[in-house]
Amino acid sequence: MKTARLWIVLAGALLVGSSLGATAARADGLPVLGVDVGATGVVTPSGQARYVTIPAGADTVVARVDAQGGRIGASMLLPGTFTIPAVAYDGSASGLSGDGHTLVLIEPRASFPRAETRLAVLDTRPLLWRTTITLPGDFSFDAVSPDGSSLYLIQYTSAVDPTKYNVRVYDLDSSRLVKAPIVDPHERGEKMRGQPLTRATSSDGRWAYTLYDGAGKAPFVHALDTRKRTARCIDLDALAGTDLTRLGLNVDTRRGLLTVTRGARPALNVDLASFQVRPPSTGTSGFPWLLATLLVLGVLVIAAVLPSRIRVGRRASASGPPSSHRAA
């Protein structure tokens, strides 16, 4: 009977799932109502499927849907109300580990702040419930380590200001919340504040890059190393006072470059080895100025030398070929 109910819910929900998006009544763990990515889901590392969550009364249907054709590869009925976590206000989704074996869901919030937070941890091969985590206080999901052993959470420290928070680690192996928050070792005395605008992740799932609006100050990128449990805050002073609504992030792991985009154009480049911010024209993917300079110098040299060679050639041609003498 439960299996039949599961497939009925799946069939109906998948027909309307594409219309839910971020306007669904249920919200995820972000401290604002109305952002829900459960129906659109989170994409697997291979890009061949995505995991979605679908409300089923007091329970939740979790399904893996193939990218080609929408075939349901696996599904389960999870007791309780959970959803795929959104990690930024543009609808960026997360919750799936870099190795693709761990899926983390969060209980949708009904208000801010909330007295407790619940998360469900699932194994994906096969799709099975592993554990449910209940934490006192208000948290939202932030990231998961590539092997699924560490969960990163945003803990809200103010009941009236959601821009005040700490980044915390929950260790799944020991089932405990690590006491010390994650901070940038270069800026230990500086508190992060702001709203998450968008998110990009490295191809292996290790680095989570989140663009924050800075809460009235300069926007910044929070670069979270989910393997080593550390972070760097990258200030984007050049974008202070500008329109942040169309900003995006693009990671090029091969070239070690994080690009902050505005629409389709690059706005700033971040060198991921040094975390230095540069204008797009001087970034590692910018225009090759050295090569251009050498080409210009080459053209100038040719322009200076070529006319003299032409004049010498013309004089030699005008005097005719040298006469030849034959011995008598």
At 61, phi and psi to the nearest 5?
-90, 130
Is 121 in contact with 132 (CB distance < 8 Å)? yes
The region that residue 295 occupies, defined by phi over 0 for left and psi between -120 and 50 for alpha, beta otherwise, is: alpha
**Tokens of residue 3, six digits:** 């299996």
Better pLDDT: 303 or 198: 198
Predicted local distance difference test score (pLDDT) of residue 278: 95
Rounded (5°) CA angle 170-174-179: 45
Query: Higher confidence at residue 295 or residue 108?
Result: 108
Question: How far is residue 155 from each of residues 46, 116, 177, measured CA to CA in Å?
Answer: 31, 11, 11
124 pLDDT higher than 80: yes
pLDDT(166) > 50: yes
The pLDDT of 289-309, averaged and rounded, is 58
Question: Which whole number is the average pLDDT over 220-234?
Answer: 97
How far apart (Å, rounded) are the C-alpha atoms in residues 55 and 3? 15
The 10s digit of each residue's pLDDT in 78-102 is: 999 999 999 999 999 999 999 999 9
* Better-predicted residue by pLDDT, 28 or 318: 28
Contacts of 205 (CB under 8 A, 6+ apart): 45, 97, 98, 99, 144, 145, 146, 226
Q: Mean pLDDT score of the chain, rounded to an integer?
A: 84
Distance of CA 67 to the CA centre of its chain: 20
* Identity of residue 216: G
Look-up: residue for tokens 């009364």? 57
* CA–CA dist 67, 70 (Å, integer): 6
Three-class DSSP category at 308: helix
Backbone angles phi, psi at 112, to 5 degrees: -130, 130
Question: Is there a contact between 42 and 50 (Cβ–Cβ < 8 Å)?
Answer: yes
CA distances for 202 relative to 34, 98, 146, 167, 232, angstroms: 27, 9, 10, 19, 15
* Domain residue limits, the chain: 1-181, 198-307
Q: Do the Cβ atoms of 133 and 84 come closer than 8 Å?
A: no
pLDDT value of position 295: 66
- Rounded mean pLDDT, 305-315: 53
Give me the sign of the Cα torsion angle 193, 195, 197, 200. positive
Please report the pLDDT score of residue 29 as a whole number: 85
pLDDT of residue 193: 87
Q: Residue 116 contacts by C-beta under 8 Å, 6 or more apart in sequence? A: 134, 135, 136, 137
| Backbone φ, ψ for residue 310 (5° rounding) | -65, -40
**Could you report the per-residue pLDDT of 188-213, keeping only the tens digit for each?**
666 778 999 999 999 999 999 999 99
How far, in Å, CA of 32 to CA of 109, rounded? 8
Q: How confident is the model at residue 299 (pLDDT cuts 50, 70, 90)?
A: low
Q: Record the tokens describing residue 67, joined without a space.
A: 């990218």
Read off φ and ψ for residue 327, nearest 5 degrees: -65, 140
The answer to whether 178 touches 168, Cβ cutoff 8 Å, is yes
Tens of pLDDT along 244-289?
A: 999 999 999 899 999 999 999 999 999 999 999 999 865 444 445 4
